[in-house]
Amino acid sequence: MKLHVSAIAAGLGLGVVLGAGPVAAADMPPVKIGVLTDMSGTYAGMGGPGSVAAAQLAIDDCLAAECKGMKIELVSADNQNKADVGAARAREWFDRDGVSAIADLTNSAVALAVQGIAREKNKVVMFSGPATTALTNKECSPVGFHWMFDTYSQSAGGAKATVRSGGKSWFFVTVDYAFGHSLEADTVKAVKSLGGTVAGSVRHPLNAPDFASYLLQAQSSKAQVVALANGGQDTVNAVKQAREFGIVAGGQRLVSLLIFLSDLRALGLDNAQGLSYVDGFYWDYDDATRGWSARFEKAFRGLKPTMTQAGVYSSVLHYLRAVAATRSTDGKVVADKMRELPIKDPIMRNASIRPDGRVIHDMYLYEVKKPADSKGGWDYSKLVATIPAAEAFQPLADSTCPLVKQN
């Protein structure tokens, strides 16, 4: 299927049948996967139509291997970053349209709403865009999987590196909904555990065009670190305006707790240089990531993938392998097989699935290069450190997930 057809279908929420080759075997169930994402808002760059393209690559790859002969259909829709909109679409997909699994979600509030519906309907849901750790704590589900990153993974590596290098006092500029609250809380916990302090915080609405008042409060706090607990276009706007206000030039450090390759591209190296951030996937990590990213780039508008889009590929491919192995689309049956099968793909290293649905894998601390150090194109970041899978995510012993048996 040509990409422009997929992109149009993504915008309209239309179904696209992939893999028109051999007729599906009688004992292999038809599969319909939904990508529910932000198609045009603040998170569209890190998810959006690119997530649909990533899901398509996963389907194509499985059809060429374990899923050969299966009928697989892909649908997509815009959740508009609204929990009620996302929940209504998920319920419609499950009840009317025969969708057996949903991927991406992008927004934490939407994800929490859909998690409950998927649990009720016994349908698999895979989160690559949302960040709240509630998805694998009190809101966990036997059919829910948190695939790429979360607020703990983003706070742990960044906070440790920053505090240990002298950034002791922090001020937070936080987006005012579940994702931002969770990201700030996890980072505060990490900062204080390392002997740091919190000078204050301020919250802003989603899609804030003007950060002047928030950044002035951060500047006047005299905190050594100004931490941005937001994402997407909000992060881009905040970083640009922080440069204009001279926050970095005045001696404060600017730390983005969640930034994507699409954001770095929007910012440019002049604005982003020196930023430290934690990522679960970077296109130039090794030969495998470079090879897969080249395929994605060819398939989707000449763009390299973000970690959310890479996570969609990984989660959809793993789900389809589990369907092929069980010859079933029953949520519990497939979810159990997903936990059993090893995760093998070009995206993640040392990956496995815990009882709470958290997919753990190596995470990475990167620093954005200075313009003079970039070799051009998409060469934005340099690897500073690898955070092992066992350390990158909230310890299972600390989980409040009812599925976890506490000793």
Q: What is the pLDDT of residues 374-396, one digit of tens each?
A: 998 999 999 988 889 998 999 99
Number of domains in the chain: 2
d(CA 312, CA 326): 21
Please report whether residue 10 resides in a domain.
Answer: no
> Average of pLDDT values for 257-273?
93
Give 276-292 pLDDT, tens digit per residue: 889 999 999 999 999 99
Please report whether residue 127 resides in a domain.
Answer: yes
d(CA 25, CA 29): 8
Please report whether residue 402 resides in a domain.
Answer: no
For residues 37 and 65, membership in a common domain is answered with: yes
Does residue 3 carry a pLDDT above 80?
no
Please report whether residue 200 resides in a domain.
Answer: yes
For residues 95 and 242, membership in a common domain is answered with: no
For residues 386 and 351, membership in a common domain is answered with: no
What's 398's DSSP letter? G
Please report whether residue 6 resides in a domain.
Answer: no
d(CA 179, CA 130): 7
Please report whether residue 36 resides in a domain.
Answer: yes
Give 68-101 pLDDT, tens digit per residue: 999 999 999 999 999 999 999 999 999 999 999 9
Please report whether residue 401 resides in a domain.
Answer: no
Contacts of residue 147, Cβ cutoff 8 Å, sequence gap at least 6: 126, 127, 128, 311, 314, 315, 359
For residues 252 and 236, membership in a common domain is answered with: yes
Tokens 């995470």 found at:
363
The pLDDT > 90 percentage for the chain reads 83
**Tell me, what CATH number does 381's domain have?**
3.40.50.2300
For residues 352 and 386, membership in a common domain is answered with: no
Does residue 300 carry a pLDDT above 90?
yes
For residues 306 and 270, membership in a common domain is answered with: no
pTM score? 0.88
For residues 163 and 243, membership in a common domain is answered with: yes
For residues 54 and 123, membership in a common domain is answered with: yes
Please report whether residue 9 resides in a domain.
Answer: no
d(CA 269, CA 369): 7
The residues facing 34 across adjacent strands are 75, 102
For residues 160 and 273, membership in a common domain is answered with: yes
Q: For residues 132 and 6, which has the higher predicted lDDT (pLDDT)? A: 132
The residues facing 146 across adjacent strands are 127, 358
